[in-house]
Chains A and B, each alone.
Chain A
C-alpha cells in the first residue's frame, strides 16, 4: 500500500500542477483585434454575487447581447466576492467583469490600477443623463468612472400588510407617529416589528441598515458622511441616539425578541407579516425583499405594501439611503467593453427589472412588474439627497465590526455603550491607509 502511494502522489501533484498552469493561460484572455472586429466566439468572464433567481435574471438580461454579438458570457456566482477579488488583484488572475463589494474597495482597486476606467467604454452623456447623479458620483474615482450600478435598491422601506391595517392613504409622517399609530392599529398582531439579521458570514448587516437610516433621518447626510468616513466617532451623541432608538423601539418590540432576530435569516424575517394572526405589523427592509422569502409568493399591493421611512428631523425627510450592485471591468477586451456598454442601457435594464425584485439605476428603465416596484423606483429617481449604504462605504474592517456589534447588541450580549466603545477602537485603526 505504502509503496503504491509513493508512485501515485507525484503523478497527481504533477497533474494538478499542469492543470493549474493551463487554467492560468485561459484566464488571461487574449486581447481581441481592433474596435470594429466581430465578437463572434469571444468569451467574457463575469463574477458576481447573484445566485438562484437573480442569476437566472442576469443571464436573461445578457441573452440578447449574446445573440446579437455571438459572444458568450461565462458567469460565476459567489458569496465570497471579497476574498476572490483580494486574491485576484494580488495574483493578477481576474475575471473580465466583476461585481464589486462597495465604493471603498472600488477606489482601492482603481488606485492599484487593477480596474479599468470606463469613460471611453460607456456613452457617458447618455449614462449620466439616465442615471441618478448620486449613483454616477459613487462610481467615480478622481473624476473617472470606474464602476456602474447595474442594479439598485432603496433602503429603509417599512413593509406592512394592508390586511391588518392599510396605511396607503395616510402613512405615518414621523417616527413618533409610526410608533403610536403602530400601537393603535396593532390589532391581533403579536408584536410591532419583525426583525431578522442572520445572513451567514455577513450576519448583522440588516441591523446596520436600520441604524444608518436612523442616523440619516435624525442627523442628516453630512453627519452620515462624516460618520462613515471615520471623522465622527461612534460614541458621538448623534450616532448613539440611533443605536438607542434601534434597541429601545425596535429590538424591544420585535417578534420573538433579540433571540429570534439573530437566528432568523433576513430573507424570511418578514414572513410573520403574512401569518394569521400576524407575528408583527412592520418590517424594515430594502426594496429587494419583494424577490425574497415569503414575499415572493405573495401579491404586491394586496398582501403587502410599504411606506417610506418616516421623518425624524423634518429637515432631512427627503433623504434616501440606497445601495446597489457596482460593476467594474478588470480586462478591457472588446467583448467586455461591449457587454459593459450594453448592461447599463435601458433596454437591458428593462429585462432585469421586469422579473421583479430589482430596481434600476437607469431612470428610463420603467418596465416594473407592479405598482410597488414602480413607487420605489420613483423614490430612488426623485431623492433630493441620496446616500449610499454607510457600512458598505466603510473600510471592510469597520464594516465587519459594525455587523458583529449589531449581532451582539441585538442578542443582548452587549449594551449600546459597550458596542460603541468597541467600534470606536476599531475606527481608530481601520481608516489608516499606509
Chain B
C-alpha cells in the first residue's frame, strides 16, 4: 500500500483515537484521587499535552538558542565567548544597516497597513458592494510571500533605456515620457526598501481592513444616530465617536503588523537577498547560518535580538486583546 495512504489513515483514525484515549486515560487516572481533588487536578491533566508540546517545540529551542548565542561559530568546537556575538551585531555595518531597515519596515509597514485598512474599512462600510470590495483587497493575503515577490518582481522589472520596458511601473513611466527607474536596485533614500514594504502592504492591508471593519460593525448605530441628530457632520462623527471607539482595535492591528515587520524575511530573500542595502535582521540570520559553514553563534544572537524586540510588543498585544474581550 502507498505509504502516503497509511499516513493518511493514521492521521484520520489515529489522531482522534489518541485524543479520546488520552481523555479516557486521564479519567481512569483520576479515579485514584478523592472526589474533592478531581476538579483541581483535571484541568492540569488536560493541559499537560499542550505544555509538553510547547516545552518541546518552543521553550526548549528558545533556551537552546539563548545559550548558543554566547558561543563561537564552529559547531564542533564551540567556545564560550560571552557577549561577542552581540557586540558584533551592534558594531558591524551590515547588521546596523539591517537594523535600520527593520525600523523602516516597522514604522512604515504598520503605518501603511493600518491607515489604508482604516480608510478602506470606513469607505466601504455602508456601500452595497462592500463584501466584493473587501474580498478583492483581502485576496493578496492568500498568496504566498514568495509568489507575491515574483509578481512584484515583474512590476518593478527594469530594462535598459530605449528597450521595451516589461515592468508595469517602468512601462507606465515610459508612457509618461520619463526614463525607467531601477526600483529594486536604487538605495538612494532607501527607495528599494520602500518598494519592498509596498509589496507587504499590498498583502496585509486586507488583514487590517477585515479586523477594523468588524470593529466598525460593532459600534452601536444609536450612538452615531444620536450624534447626527445633534447636528454633527460626518467628519465630526468619525473624529469624535468612531475613531476613539476603534483605538483598541487599531492597537491590536498595529502590534500584529509590528511583529510581522520585525519578522520580515521572505520578500527580501526572494527579491534581493539583502543586497543593494536592503538587508533585514531575519535574512541576516539565515545568511549567518547557511553561508560559510554556519556561524550558528551569530545567527542565534540575531534570533535572540529579534525575540527580545518582539516579546514586549506581544505582551502589549495580549493585554490589549484581553481588555477588548472584557469590554465585550
Looking at B126-134, B221-229, B269-277, the stretch in contact with chain A turns out to be B269-277
B71 to A: closest C-beta gap in Å: 13
Task: List, in ascending order, chain B residues with CB within 8 A of A220's CB.
Answer: none
B12 to A: closest C-beta gap in Å: 9
CB contact under 8 A between A86 and B160, given known A15-B11, A22-B10, A434-B76: no
A414-434: which have CB < 8 Å to B? Answer: 430, 432-434
**Residue A22 contacts which of B6, B77, B291, B294 (CB distance < 8 angstroms)?**
B6
Q: Are B7 and A279 in contact (CB under 8 A)?
A: no
Task: List, in ascending order, chain A residues with CB within 8 A of B273's CB.
Answer: 200-203
**A393 interface residue (CB < 8 Å to B):** no
Q: How far is the CA of A260 from the CA of B161 in the complex (A)?
A: 9
**Residue B15 contacts which of A14, A83, A200, A395 (CB distance < 8 angstroms)?**
A14
Q: How far is the CA of A176 from the CA of B185 in the complex (A)?
A: 32
Q: Which residue of A lies closest to B18 (CB)?
A: A14
Q: How far is the CA of A257 from the CA of B77 in the complex (A)?
A: 46
Q: Are A407 and B275 in contact (CB under 8 A)?
A: yes
Q: How far is the CA of A23 from the CA of B4 in the complex (A)?
A: 9
**B70 interface residue (CB < 8 Å to A):** no
Q: How far is the CA of A72 from the CA of B60 in the complex (A)?
A: 40
Q: Which residue of A lies closest to B57 (CB)?
A: A13
**Residue B293 contacts which of A22, A262, A395 (CB distance < 8 angstroms)?**
A395
Task: List, in ascending order, chain A residues with CB within 8 A of B74's CB.
Answer: 433-434
Beyond A19-B7, A411-B185, A411-B276, 19 additional pairs, beta carbon < 8 A: A11-B19, A13-B53, A15-B11, A18-B11, A18-B14, A22-B3, A22-B7, A23-B7, A26-B3, A83-B286, A86-B294, A200-B270, A255-B160, A256-B161, A259-B185, A260-B159, A396-B292, A407-B276, A413-B187
B264-309: which have CB < 8 Å to A? Answer: 269-270, 272-273, 275-276, 286-287, 289-294
A197 to B: closest C-beta gap in Å: 11
Task: List, in ascending order, chain A residues with CB within 8 A of B6's CB.
Answer: 22
A396-414: which have CB < 8 Å to B? Answer: 396-397, 399-400, 404, 407, 411, 413
Q: How far is the CA of A86 from the CA of B293 in the complex (A)?
A: 8
**A29 interface residue (CB < 8 Å to B):** no
Q: Which residue of B lies closest to A403 (CB)?
A: B275
Q: How far is the CA of A399 from the CA of B3 in the complex (A)?
A: 41
Q: How far is the CA of A14 from the CA of B77 in the complex (A)?
A: 36
Task: List, in ascending order, chain B residues with CB within 8 A of A10's CB.
Answer: 19, 49-50, 53
A251-265: which have CB < 8 Å to B? Answer: 255-256, 259-260, 262-264
Task: List, in ascending order, chain A residues with CB within 8 A of B272's CB.
Answer: 203
Q: How far is the CA of A396 from the CA of B288 in the complex (A)?
A: 10
**B158 interface residue (CB < 8 Å to A):** yes
Q: How far is the CA of A105 from the CA of B293 in the complex (A)?
A: 8
How many residues of chain A are within 8 Å of chain B by beta carbon?
43
B170 to A: closest C-beta gap in Å: 10
B residues at A contact (CB < 8 Å) = 3, 6-7, 10-11, 14-16, 18-19, 49-50, 53, 73-77, 158-161, 182, 184-185, 187, 269-270, 272-273, 275-276, 286-287, 289-294
Contact code string A20-32 (vs B, CB < 8 Å = 1, else 0): 0011001000000
CB contact under 8 A between A434 and B49, given known A201-B269, A259-B185, A396-B292: no
Q: Which residue of B lies closest to A200 (CB)?
A: B273
**Residue A262 contacts which of B53, B75, B185 (CB distance < 8 angstroms)?**
B185
Task: List, in ascending order, chain B residues with CB within 8 A of A18's CB.
Answer: 7, 10-11, 14-15
Q: Are A263 and B184 in contact (CB under 8 A)?
A: yes
Task: List, in ascending order, chain A residues with CB within 8 A of B290's CB.
Answer: 82-83, 86, 396
Q: How far is the CA of A367 from the CA of B73 in the complex (A)?
A: 48
B55 to A: closest C-beta gap in Å: 13
B264 to A: closest C-beta gap in Å: 16
CB contact under 8 A between A404 and B160, given known A18-B15, A434-B77: no
Q: Are A263 and B158 in contact (CB under 8 A)?
A: yes
A167-197: which have CB < 8 Å to B? Answer: none
Q: How far is the CA of A26 from the CA of B7 in the complex (A)?
A: 11
Q: Which residue of B lies closest to A268 (CB)?
A: B159
Task: List, in ascending order, chain B residues with CB within 8 A of A256's CB.
Answer: 160-161
B272 to A: closest C-beta gap in Å: 8
B151 to A: closest C-beta gap in Å: 15
The 10 closest A-B pairs by CB, nearest first: A256-B160, A397-B292, A201-B273, A396-B291, A15-B11, A260-B160, A434-B77, A263-B158, A83-B290, A400-B291
Q: List 30 A-B contacts (CB under 8 A).
A: A10-B50, A11-B16, A14-B18, A18-B15, A19-B11, A22-B3, A22-B6, A26-B3, A200-B270, A200-B273, A201-B273, A202-B273, A203-B272, A203-B275, A204-B275, A259-B158, A259-B185, A260-B158, A262-B182, A262-B276, A263-B184, A272-B160, A396-B292, A400-B291, A404-B275, A411-B276, A432-B73, A433-B74, A434-B74, A434-B77
Task: List, in ascending order, chain A residues with CB within 8 A of B73's CB.
Answer: 432
**A53 interface residue (CB < 8 Å to B):** no
CB contact under 8 A between A400 and B185, given known A201-B269, A256-B160: no
Q: How far is the CA of A31 from the CA of B31 in the complex (A)?
A: 48
**A108 interface residue (CB < 8 Å to B):** yes
Q: Are B182 and A86 in contact (CB under 8 A)?
A: no
Q: How far is the CA of A264 from the CA of B182 in the complex (A)?
A: 10
Task: List, in ascending order, chain B residues with CB within 8 A of A23's CB.
Answer: 7
Q: How far is the CA of A256 from the CA of B50 in the complex (A)?
A: 59
Q: How far is the CA of A203 from the CA of B182 in the complex (A)?
A: 15
Interface-central residue, B50, B53, B290, B293, by most chain A CB under 10 Å? B293
B327 to A: closest C-beta gap in Å: 16
B308 to A: closest C-beta gap in Å: 25
B26 to A: closest C-beta gap in Å: 14
Q: Are A82 and B19 in contact (CB under 8 A)?
A: no
A87 to B: closest C-beta gap in Å: 8
Q: How far is the CA of A160 from the CA of B262 in the complex (A)?
A: 48
Task: List, in ascending order, chain B residues with CB within 8 A of A90's CB.
Answer: 75
Task: List, in ascending order, chain B residues with CB within 8 A of A15's CB.
Answer: 11, 15
B133 to A: closest C-beta gap in Å: 24
A396 to B: closest C-beta gap in Å: 4
A43-80: which have CB < 8 Å to B? Answer: none
Q: Which residue of B lies closest to A108 (CB)?
A: B293
Q: How far is the CA of A19 from the CA of B15 in the complex (A)?
A: 11
Q: Are A279 and B276 in contact (CB under 8 A)?
A: no
Task: List, in ascending order, chain B residues with CB within 8 A of A264's CB.
Answer: 159-160
Q: How far is the CA of A264 from the CA of B180 in the complex (A)?
A: 14
Q: How far is the CA of A90 from the CA of B77 in the complex (A)?
A: 15
Interface-central residue, A105, A201, A204, A264, by most chain B CB under 10 Å? A201
Q: How far is the CA of A432 from the CA of B286 in the complex (A)?
A: 20
